[in-house]
Structure 1
Amino acid sequence: LKLYDPSVVRVILGKDELGSLETTSSAVKRTGAILGVNGGGFFNSGKKILPIGNTVVNGKLVTGFNPSNGDVFFTGISKSGKLIGGKFYDEESLTRLNPQQGVSFLPILIKGGQPQPVPKEWETTKQPRTIIGEYANGDFILIVVDGRQSDWSSGVTLERLQNKLAELGVKEGYNLDGGGSSAMVFKGKVLNRPSDGKQRSVSNNIVIVP
């Protein structure tokens, strides 16, 4: 993806509401987007489903600042249109990068062109994956890999994804929510085969609105 206008990239909360869920297809249709993928991870707080880590929508931290914990990172689009990301332990270190949209998950795959350590428990596991990355020239890449389907695809390990991203010349690469959440929608059509047999409703999606 070549971005001439960074404002076309948006993080969409489920039904535009913190605590709500929505499929990628629904978010794409509702916003008039041309392309969409699922975004960051989410959890049950006991009262509602919330995104993990930090989520930025239109320049605002929608759940307040949460310091990075373990391998959880934040990645997003800055005001200048760069893919930013990493682990942030204080709010100032994040806000000085001027994030406009962004989500959280784990782990970081490529930083400065170098593969990053993968958590031991994830090293050899094949799963459906969703990836966002950026080339040295500023172009973006979005990848969805299917999995958990013996007649279609078993998924991919994070190590293999790292190697492929490095081979493609990706300088920054981040693993977004995967498994049954992984979905890519282009012009209203679901391009992959979600492992649940249908799209999962998720806490947030990343869309491109022309």
Structure 2
Amino acid sequence: LRSELATGIVPGRETTSSVARRTGALAAVNAGYFVIGGDKHTPGSWVAGTDGDPAGVSVIGGDLVSEAVNGRPALIVPTGSGRNASIRRVETRITVATADGASREVTGLNRRPGLIVNCGGVGNITPFSRPAHDYTCGNADELIAVTPAFGTAAPEGPGFQATLDADGRVTAVREGRGGPVPPLGTVLQGTGSGAEWLRAHAGIGAPLTVRGTVVDAETRTPLTLTPDTSVVNGGPLLLRDGRPVLDPVRDGWSPEDIDGADRAGMYNDWYLRRNPRTAAGVTRDGRLLLLTVDGRRPGHSAGLSITETAEVMRGLGAVHAINLDGGGSTAMVVRDELQGHPSDPTGERPAGDTLVVLP
């Protein structure tokens, strides 16, 4: 079992059926939240950023490719077998350091600076740093790391940029952002005070060390990431130790309005009402359950509320469970056959990432 980025890189989306065919999967389900509508690059909007970008933590083959919405839950698959999977609240810690000990927090990974989808990030975030589902926060002072997981071209825009080779040495600097991403290197993009830090420390030939870790937000212990590790973002947390643990405010579904945005309507329509759902759970003996539920189709299936999703997962034997992306994204494929009926009128929705079960 592993997670797979749509199109193989962060930008772009692909249907669960297509990913299953491409990887030769026996089965597959859609996975975490992601950005739809990458042409909207405005903080405060419902969707903003790079189309297909995971809207939360993502680890593919042991490599951290997207930062966490800090404090939100995630599905951790430490081995390719799917055994010993866990569901934990996580944070990411990413830093860049110079040879003489200067360091700075890296506020984002493989995304456009200034756009924090679902909020919950680090640094000078506006209007707040707590999670807010389907809302984009801003930050004028960012330092973003762009790796080959983003593709061959870094996001364009104002700021300052330094390119590092595979050994972490600066090979190029420029005013403004954009250009190629080296196949084995990293591009650092700064805005505001992040750009100032790069100008001061990223001289040609200078060594810069970028480190990223995923941390259990409750025990504060780092997770061990091996080449078999997959991490998929999600929320809300449904079950812990066999009991429902729903906390909409903590997980980003607070009904309180933000800058006039109707959060109460979103809370009622998405959280309380029945919708298509995708969920993952871990049984007491360590098996992983993957669930999809059709919805929004009168005469076929209304779907489940979040509370009902937790109860269904508990009824199936899960002791720990997490809600994954749902709605029009919900899709399950078994042996090349799409199960159920997608809710979008246009059919199966292309998603940002997929959980695949391989032979």
- Class of the TM-score when normalised by the shorter of the 2 chains: 0.7 to 0.9
* Partner SS for 2:90: coil
* Partner SS for 2:21: helix
* Structure 2 stretches lacking a partner, 5+ long: 39-47, 93-212, 217-221, 249-253, 255-266
Confirm or deny: 8 A CA contact 1:147 1:154 kept in the other structure. yes
**1:67-146 correspondence to structure 2 within 5 Å:** 67-68=69-70, 72-79=72-79, 81-90=83-92, 91-94=213-216, 95-98=222-225, 100-119=229-248, 121=267, 123-146=271-294
1:36 is aligned to 28
Q: Which deviates further from its counterpart, 129-138 or 78-87?
A: 78-87
* Partner SS for 1:161: helix
1:5 is aligned to none
Cα distance, 1:137 vs. partner? 0.8
Question: 2:8 & 2:282 partners in 1: Cα distance?
Answer: 27
1:50 is aligned to 53
2:358 is aligned to 209
Q: Which amino acid aligns with 1:84?
A: S
Q: Which amino acid aligns with 1:130?
A: T
2:180 is aligned to none
CA separation of 1:163 and 1:13: change in aligned 2, threshold 3 A: same
Confirm or deny: 8 A CA contact 2:29 2:331 kept in the other structure. yes
Cα distance, 1:165 vs. partner? 2.0
Question: 1:156 & 1:162 partners in 2: Cα distance?
Answer: 9
Confirm or deny: 8 A CA contact 1:24 1:201 kept in the other structure. yes
Confirm or deny: 8 A CA contact 2:6 2:352 kept in the other structure. yes
Number of equivalences: 199
1:192 is aligned to 340
CA separation of 1:68 and 1:33: change in aligned 2, threshold 3 A: same
CA separation of 1:112 and 1:41: change in aligned 2, threshold 3 A: same
Question: 1:149 & 1:118 partners in 2: Cα distance?
Answer: 28
TM-score when scaled to structure 2? 0.52
| Structure having greater relative contact order (Cα 8 Å, sep ≥ 6) | 1
Q: Which deviates further from its counterpart, 28-37 or 146-155?
A: 146-155
Question: 2:280 & 2:7 partners in 1: Cα distance?
Answer: 22
Cα distance, 1:182 vs. partner? 0.1
Q: Which deviates further from its counterpart, 17-26 or 99-108?
A: 99-108
Cα distance, 1:176 vs. partner? 0.5
CA separation of 1:108 and 1:32: change in aligned 2, threshold 3 A: same
CA separation of 1:142 and 1:108: change in aligned 2, threshold 3 A: same
2:308 is aligned to 160
* Partner SS for 2:278: strand
* Partner SS for 2:239: strand
CA separation of 1:92 and 1:62: change in aligned 2, threshold 3 A: closer
How large is the RMSD of aligned CA atoms in angstroms? 1.9
Cα distance, 1:123 vs. partner? 4.8
* % identity of equivalent residues: 30
Question: 1:116 & 1:106 partners in 2: Cα distance?
Answer: 11
- The reply on whether 1:15 has 2:22 as its aligned counterpart is no
- The reply on whether 1:25 has 2:27 as its aligned counterpart is no
Cα distance, 1:166 vs. partner? 2.0
1:176 is aligned to 324
Cα distance, 1:53 vs. partner? 1.1
1:6 is aligned to none
* Structure 1 stretches lacking a partner, 5+ long: 1-8
CA separation of 1:75 and 1:165: change in aligned 2, threshold 3 A: same
* Partner SS for 1:50: coil
> Which structure: larger Rg?
2
Q: Deviations over 1:56-90 (max 9, x none)?
A: 10011112x33515xx3221201383122222234
